[in-house]
Amino acid sequence: MAQTQVQGTIVDEQGEPVIGASVLVKGTTTGTVTNIDGEFALSAPSNGTLVISYVGMQTMEVAVSPRIRVILRSDAELLDEVVVTGYGTFKKSSFTGSAATVSTDKLKDVPVTSVSDKLAGNVAGVQINSVSGQPGATESIRIRGMGSINAGNNPLYVIDGVPVLSGDMSGFNYADAGTSILSTLNSSDIENITVIKDAAAASLYGSRAANGVVVITTKKGKAGKTVFSVKANWGFSNMAVDYRPTLDGDARRELLHLGLVNYAKYTEGKSDAEAKAYADENIDTYAPKPWSGWTDWRKILIRNGQYQNYDVSAQGGNEKTKFYSSISYAKQEGIYENSGFDRITGSVNVSHQASDKLTLDVSSLFSYSDQSSVSEGYSYSSPIMAMASMVSPSSYPYNEDGTLGRYFPAIGDDWANPLRAIKYTSNKNKLTRTFNTLSGTYTITKGLKLKEVLSYDFTQNASIAWWGPQSNDGRTANGVFQKYMINTSKFNSQTQLTYDRSFDRVHNLSFLLGYETEAYKHENVYGTGSNYAAMDDPKPEIQNAAITKSSSSISEYRMLSYLGRADYNYDSKYYVSASYRRDGSSRLAKANRWGDFWSLSGSWRLTNEPFMESIREKVTDTKIRASYGVNGTQPWRYYDFMPVYSFGYNYDNQVGTSESTPGNANLKWEKNYAFNAGIDLTFLNRFTLTVEWYTRKTQDLLLERPISGTIGFVDEYNHANELVNVGAMRNSGIELELRSTNVQKKDFTWNTTLTLAHNQNKILQLNKDQDEIISYESIHRVGQPYNSFYAYEYAGVDPQTGKELYYKNTNDEHARETTTDETKANRTIIGSADPKVTGGLTNTLTWKFIDLNFTFTYSFGGKVYDGVSWLHSNGGIDLFYGAVPSHYKKEDMWRNPGDNAKLPMFANGNVDVPSSRWLLPSDHVRLKNLTLGFTLPAKLSKKVGFDRIRAYMSGNNLLTFKSKKLYVDPENTASGFVYFRAPAMRTVTFGVELGF
C-alpha cells in the first residue's frame, strides 16, 4: 500500500501548540505524539485516516495528506472533572455527593514510600498523622474527624473498584512503625486518587465506609504506538526537625552542678559556701567527663539515609487491546542504622474488546518489600530514647581497648549501650503481596450492561526478631529468635447490572443493582527459640536453639451484600440520587447479622437556569447540593458475639480448656448518620470555590465495658472486659477549597489550590452509668472532644520557693488561687489534640521548559502532650544520670527568693507533676513537597533518540515552621501524646526521566 510521509501541526482555538496530542493511524497501532511545538511526523497509508485526540478536547479524524494543520476545540463535557466512586464514574457537575480527586501526575516525583502522603494538603478535611518516621511505617488517616472509639478510624481503600486489605501488616509490635500495606503500591502506577467524604457515595460500601473511602485508580493503556518511560532518582534523608534536643556535656555539667547546689541549700539547709562545696564534691558522680571527651550521641546514632528509586513502564495497543505494565525498585534508608525499606513492584493492566458486546479486563499487581525497623517508645534498645533521654554525654560508646562501653547509669545496666542493640539485634518484616483482578463487561442491549468482577488480594509476611546473646534484650535467655509467618487473603466477587437511558433529551436515568461476597482469612504460625551457641554468629534460626516452642492460629470472616443505586437528572439542572446496601456479616449473631445502609442526595445546577443567563459570563457555574445517609462499622474482632472456649492449656500434662470470651449476642453495627450540604461556584472560568458543611453522628459505639475478673474472663493484660454497643459521638465542621488559574499563556501557566477545614469532635454519650473515662493524662468526657488532656493547670513559678505553681480549680471562689502543693489542686481539661484548622496550599507553575510544583500544609489550634514524665522533674534522678533536654535553660531558672523566673528551681531529688506546662502547641506550616523540573526541547531530544528528556529535583518535608516550644515533630498520632519515635524525614532527590 502506498505510503505518505505526513508532517503536521496541532493547535488549539487560540492558535497555541497542543503538546502531547495523540496522532494515530486509524485501525492500526501506528502513531506518535506532538512535540513542544505541537508538531508531528509519521508515515501513513495514502488513503488512510488520522485520529487526533487530546484530554479535554474533541477528538478529530482527518484524511492523510503531506501537510496537515488541525485545530482541536475544547470539549466542555470532557473538561468536566471526573469523580470515580468505585461503583461508577460521574462528571463533577452531576455528582451529588462530597468527593475530591487528586491527580498524582504533579506529585509523581515526590520521594515517599506510601501513596497516602500524596494526599497531604490536597484534600480538605483529610488529616494524615504519622505513627513513625521510619521508612514503610503505617499512617493514621482521618476523614472528617474520628467516627469510632475502638472499631477503627481509617478509611476503606478501593483499587479499581475493589476493596482491598489495609492497615499494619507487621508481625511484631516492637517498633511503633509497623508496616503499611499502602507502601506496597508504586505511586507511579496510580492515575488519580478520589476521596469520598459523605454518605452519598460511601453508603454503597455499607459497613466499611463510616470513615470515608479512598478510591485509587491505576493507569491503563492507550491505543497507539508503544510508549516507554524510564525514571531514576537518587538522594538522601535526614530529620525534618531538631527532635528532642539535649544539652551538651559542658552545659549539662553546669546545670547539674546548680541542681546540687539548690538541693544542698533548700533541702538540706546548707549555706552558700557549704552548698557549693557539696556540689563540687558530688558533680563527678553524675557528670564525669569521659576518657574520650564528651560524647555526642546524636551524631553516633543518627545518620543521613540514602534514597534511590527506579521506574520503567510501557503502554500502548490498538483499538481492541490496550495494555500498561511497569516494574520498579525503591530503596530508602532510615535515619537510624538497622532502619530501611526495600521494595520491588510490578504491574500489568490489559483491556481487550473481545466483541462488540464483551470487554475483558485483567490486572495484576505484585510487590515484595523488606523492611528493617528499630524499637521505639520506652524500649531501652530504642536509639531515639537513648539519644533524647537515657544516655548522657558522660557515657562513652567504646572503652579505651575498643570494646563496647558499659557506663550507662540512667538505665542501671552496663549492657545498655545502644550500639550493642544496633550490632546484635534486628527486627525485619518481609512482605510479599499479589493483587489480581479479572472482570468482564457484557452489553446486553443498548444502555444495559452486566459486569462480573473477581479479585484476590494476598499477602505473606515473614516477620523476624533477633536478640543476640550479646545484646541487653537477649543476654538473660542467651539469645532469643522469633519468627511469624502470616498469610492474609481477601477474596471479593461483584456482580453488577447497570442501565443508563436518556429520553426526550431532558430526562436521564441510571440504575445499578449489585451482589457481592467477601471472604477474609488470616493464618499465622509463630515460633521462638532461645539459648543459642556462644559464638559470633550462632545462626539464628529456631532449629538451632536449645529451647523452642511454637503456636498457630486461624481467623476468618465472611460478608454477603446486596446493593442498588438510582440516579436521575432533568435537563442537567436537577439531580437526585438514592442508594441502598444490605450487608450480612459473620461477625454478628443471626438476630443482628444484617445491617441496612442507605443515602439520599440531590443537587440543583443553577447555571442552566434562565435567570442566571445575565451573569453567566462571570459566574460560569453554580451548583448547590445536599446529602444524608447511613453507613456503619463492624466489630473489629470476629467472634465476640458468641461464647468461646480455648484449648491449649497444660493441665497436669493433659489437654486443658477454659472459657476465653463470654459472648454478647446483642452486639450490632455501629451506625454513622451523616449530613452534608455544599455549594460549588466557578467564576470567569478561572476560579472554582467549594464550601461544605457537614455533621455526622455515630451511635451504638463499640466499647469494652469492664466486668468482674472473678468469673475468669481475663485477657493477656489481666483486663476483664466485655464488648458492648454503648455511647455516641458527633463530628461537625466546614470545608473550603479554592482553585484558581492565575495565568494561562503560551509560555507561562500558574495554578493554585487552597484547602481549609475545621472539624469539631464531641462525645455525646458513654456508658449509661458513666460520663467520663480517665486514663493518666487522658480523659474522655461527655460534652468534650475525645482526645482531651487532663492534668493540673500550670500557673508559673512561685517567687519565694522556686516551685511550680498550680491553679486550684476547686469549683468555688478559690478556683483561681494558686498552690505549690498539687494535692490541694484539682486536675482539669487543659486542652485537646484536635486542631482548629488544617489545610494546604499548592502551586503549579510552568515556564517554557521549566516546571515547578510545591505544597505547603498547615495546622493550627491543636496540642500535644509530652508523656515522658521523668523528663519533667526539674532535677529528678533520671535527669541527673541521663540526658537533659535543652529546654532546661539555666539562665531562665529560679535561683533565690524573690526571683520572677520563667523556669522553676532545678534541684536534685525533685519529682515530676503532670501539668499544662508540658502541653505544647502543634501549630505548624510545612513545605510538604517541592519539585523543580527541566524538560529538554523536543527537537534536541529527538536528535539523541528520545521523545522526552527531563531532569528534576524533588523534596519532601523540606521546611517546617513551628513554635520554639515544640521540641518534637508537629505531625503526630491522633491521640496527641508524644513519647519517643522517629520524626518525619526530610528527603531530597535528583532524578532524570526519559520517554521514547
The kind and range of the H/E element at 199 are helix 199-202
Enumerate the H helices of 904-948 as residue ranges.
938-943
What CA–CA distance (Å, rounded) separates 888 from 878?
A: 14
3-state secondary structure 355-411: CCCEEEEEEEEEEEEEEECCCCCCCCCCHHHHHHHHCCCCCCCECCCCCECCCCCCC
Quote the CATH superfamily of domain 108-238+303-792+923-995. Answer: TonB-dependent receptor, beta-barrel domain (2.40.170.20)
Pick the closest to residue 160 from 431, 492, 517 (CA basis): 492
Q: What is the predicted pLDDT for the residue at 717?
A: 63
Mean pLDDT of the chain: 91
How far apart CA 835 and CA 838 sit, in angstroms, is 7
pLDDT tens track for 751-804: 999 999 999 999 999 987 789 999 999 999 999 999 999 999 999 999 999 999
Location of C-alpha cell 485526540: 53
Find the helix packing angle between 249-266 and 272-286, rounded to 10°.
140
Q: Write out pLDDT tens, residues 865-923.
A: 999 999 999 999 999 999 999 999 999 999 999 999 999 999 999 999 999 999 999 99
pLDDT top residue among 301 and 721: 301
From-to residues of CATH 2.40.170.20 in the chain: 108-238+303-792+923-995
Report pLDDT for 710.
67
**Cβ–Cβ < 8 Å for 622, 660:** no
Kindly list the distances between the CA atom of residue 93 and the CA atoms of 78, 579, 691, 981, in Å, as whole numbers in the listed order.
11, 19, 15, 44
**C-alpha span between 217 and 192 (Å, rounded):** 5
The answer to whether 278 and 286 are in contact (CB under 8 A) is no
Find how far residue 961's CA is from the centre of its chain: 21
Backbone angles phi, psi at 89, to 5 degrees: -120, 130
Residue-wise pLDDT for 275-311, tens only, equals: 999 999 999 999 999 999 999 999 999 999 999 999 9
Q: Which pLDDT score is estimated for 76?
A: 46
pLDDT value for 79? 44
Q: Where in the chain is the domain with CATH 2.60.40.1120?
A: 3-71
Mean pLDDT, residues 614-642: 89
Which of 522-526, 721-725, 859-863, 978-982 bottoms out in mean pLDDT, i.e. has the lowest?
721-725
Query: Who contacts 495 (Cβ-Cβ below 8 Å, separation ≥6)?
Result: 450, 451, 452, 453, 514, 515, 516
pLDDT digits (tens, 9 = 90+) for 386-444: 999 999 999 999 999 999 999 999 988 888 899 999 999 999 999 999 999 999 999 99
918 with 866: CB under 8 angstroms?
yes
User: Alpha carbon 467 to chain centroid distance?
Assistant: 30
900 three-class SS: coil
Cα separation of 452 and 437, whole Å? 11
Q: Which residues contact 813 (CB under 8 A, 6 or more apart)?
A: none
Q: Are 819 and 796 in contact (CB under 8 A)?
A: no
Q: What is the spatial distance between Cα 665 and Cα 720, in angstroms, rounded to a whole number?
A: 18
Sheet holding 190-196, edge to edge: 99-103, 190-196, 213-218, 156-159, 162-163
Indicate if the pLDDT at residue 537 is higher than 90. no
All residues at 6 or more sequence positions from 58 whose CB lies less than 8 Å from its CB, including other chains: 72, 73, 74, 75, 78
- The rounded distance, in Å, linking the Cα atoms of 753 and 745 is 19
The cell numbers describing 287, all together, are 557528670
Neighbours of 219 (CB within 10 A): 18
- Cα separation, 320 vs 304, in Å, equals 50
Burial of 637 (0-12, 13-18, 19+ CB in 10 A): middle
Please check whether residue 703 is in contact with residue 667, taking contact to mean a CB–CB distance below 8 angstroms.
Answer: no
Render the burial of 905-920: b for 16+ CB within 10 Å, e for the rest. Answer: bbbbbbebbbbbbbbb
Answer for the pair 9, 39: CB distance below 8 angstroms, yes or no.
yes
What is the torsional sign of CA 639, 644, 649, 654?
negative
Q: How far apart are CA 10 and CA 38, in angstroms?
A: 5
Structural element, H or E, at residue 424 = helix 418-424
Please state whether beta strands 67-71 and 3-11 pair in parallel, antiparallel, or not at all (unpaired). parallel
pLDDT confidence of residue 676 = 96
Q: Is 175 exposed, middle or buried (0-12, 13-18, 19+ CB in 10 A)?
A: buried
SS3 570: strand
Amino acid 454: pLDDT: 97
Burial 462-477 (b: 16+ CB within 10 A, else e): ebbbbbbbbbbbbbeb
Beta bridge partners of residue 458, listed in sequence order: 434, 489
Distance of alpha carbon 763 from alpha carbon 780, whole angstroms: 8
- Which residues share a beta bridge with 728? 699, 765
Rounded CA gap, 297 and 313, in Å? 44
Q: What is the spatial distance between Cα 851 and Cα 848, in angstroms, rounded to a whole number?
A: 8
Mean pLDDT for the stretch of residues 705-716:
70
pLDDT per residue as tens digits for the range 82-100: 788 878 888 777 788 898 8
Beta strands in 409-479 (DSSP E): 425-445, 448-467
**Angle at the Cα of 805 from the Cα atoms of 804 and 811, rounded to 5 degrees:** 145
Name the band, by pLDDT with cuts 50, 70 and 90, for residue 78.
very low
Residue type at position 433: R
Other CB atoms within a 10 A radius of the CB of residue 949 amount to 20
The amino acid that residue 979 corresponds to is Y
C-alpha cell at 328: 520498579
297, containing H or E segment: helix 297-301
Give the residue, 63 or 331, on which the prediction is more confident.
331
Percent of the chain surpassing pLDDT 70? 98
- CA angle at residue 865 from 863 to 870, to 5 degrees? 160
Burial of 746 by CB count in 10 Å (0-12 exposed, 13-18 middle, 19+ buried)?
A: exposed
Residue-by-residue DSSP string for 238-296: EESS--S-B--HHHHHHHHHHHHHHHHHHTS---HHHHHHHHHHHHHHHSPPPTT-S--
- For 3-71, CATH number out of 2.60.40.1120, 1.10.510.10, 1.20.1090.10, 2.60.260.40 equals 2.60.40.1120
Pairing state between β 162-163 and 977-978 = unpaired
For residue 916, give the C-alpha cell.
Answer: 499544662
State mean pLDDT over 679-697. 93
User: Picking from 26-35, 95-104, 551-560, 741-750, which range would have the lowest pLDDT averaged per residue?
Assistant: 26-35
pLDDT per position as a tens digit, 934-957: 999 888 888 888 888 999 999 999
853-877 burial, b at 16+ Cβ within 10 Å, e below that, comes to bbbbbbbeebbbbbbbbebbbbbbb
Query: Has residue 53 got a pLDDT over 90?
Result: no
